[in-house]
Amino acid sequence: MFKFLRDKVKGALDRISKKVEEEVPEEKTEILEEVIEKKKDADKKISVKPVGEEEIKEVKKKGLLGKIKETISTKKISPEKFDEIFEELEIALLENNVALEVIDKIRDDLKVEIVDKPISRNDFSSKISDSLKKSISDLFDAEKIDLIKKIRDKQEKPYVICFVGVNGSGKTTSIAKVANYLKDKGVGVLMVAGDTWRAASIQQLEEHGKKLNVKVIKHNYGSDPAAVAFDGIKSAKSNNIDAVLIDTAGRQQSNKDLMREMEKIIRVAKPDMNIFVGESITGNDCVVQVQEFGDFVEIGGIILTKSDVDEKGGAAISVSYVTGKPILFLGNGQEYKDIEEFDKEKLLNSLGF
Ligand SMILES: Nc1nc2c(ncn2[C@@H]2O[C@H](COP(=O)(O)OP(=O)(O)O)[C@@H](O)[C@H]2O)c(=O)[nH]1
Ligand SMILES: [Mg+2]
* Residue 111 shares a structural domain with residue 212: no
Q: Which atom of ligand 1 is nearest to the CA of 168?
A: 19
- Does residue 79 have a cis bond before it (omega within 30 degrees)? no
The percent helix, strand, coil of the chain (3-state, each to 5) is 55, 15, 30
Residue-wise pLDDT tens digits, 330-347: 999 999 999 999 999 999
* Residue 313 shares a structural domain with residue 338: yes
CATH number where 123 lies:
1.20.120.140
**Residues 6+ away with beta carbon under 8 Å from 80:** none
Amino acid present at 50:
P
* pTM (two decimals): 0.89
Could you tell me if the CB of 320 is within 6 A of ligand 1? no
Q: Which residue's CA is the closest to the ligand 1 atom numbered 14?
A: 170
pLDDT above 70: residue 157 = yes
Mutate to test the pocket of ligand 1, among 171, 172, 173, 203 (most ligand atoms within 8 A of CB): 173
* Residue 130 shares a structural domain with residue 228: no
* Residue 48 shares a structural domain with residue 105: no
8-state DSSP, 77: B
**Could you tell me the pLDDT band of residue 268, with boundaries at 50, 70 and 90?**
very high
Distance between CA atoms of residues 206 and 220, nearest Å: 13
249 CA distance to ligand 2 centroid (A)? 6
Q: For the chain, give the mean pLDDT.
A: 90
Least confident of 20-24, 36-40, 313-317: 36-40
Assign residue 56 a region: left if phi > 0, alpha if psi is -120 to 50, beta otherwise?
alpha
Q: Give the pLDDT of residue 47.
A: 41
**Number of domains the chain contains:** 3
Q: Which atom of ligand 1 is nearest to the CA of 277?
A: 20
* Residue 167 shares a structural domain with residue 316: yes
Q: Which residue's CA is the closest to the ligand 1 atom numbered 7?
A: 170
**Residues 6+ away with beta carbon under 8 Å from 300:** 145, 272, 273, 274, 275, 325
* Residue 179 shares a structural domain with residue 320: yes
Could you tell me if the CB of 203 is within 6 A of ligand 1? no
133 CA distance to ligand 1 centroid (A)? 31
Could you tell me if the CB of 278 is within 6 A of ligand 1? no
Domain span at residue 100? 1-24+76-140
Q: Give the pLDDT of residue 59.
A: 58
CATH number where 173 lies:
3.40.50.300
Could you tell me if the CB of 11 is within 6 A of ligand 1? no
163 CA distance to ligand 2 centroid (A)? 10
Start-to-end CA span in the chain (Å): 14
* Burial (CB count within 10 angstroms: exposed 0-12, middle 13-18, buried 19+), residue 53: middle
> Which of these three, 56, 75, 94, is where a domain ends?
75
pLDDT above 80: residue 63 = no
* Residue 122 shares a structural domain with residue 97: yes
* Residue 268 shares a structural domain with residue 214: yes
* Residue 127 shares a structural domain with residue 234: no
* Residue 276 shares a structural domain with residue 179: yes
* Residue 181 shares a structural domain with residue 328: yes
* Residue 295 shares a structural domain with residue 247: yes
250 CA distance to ligand 2 centroid (A)? 7
> Which of these three, 60, 75, 90, is where a domain ends?
75
> Which of these three, 90, 123, 140, is where a domain ends?
140
Q: Give the pLDDT of residue 2.
A: 85
pLDDT above 90: residue 29 = no
Q: Give the pLDDT of residue 57.
A: 66
Could you tell me if the CB of 337 is within 6 A of ligand 1? no
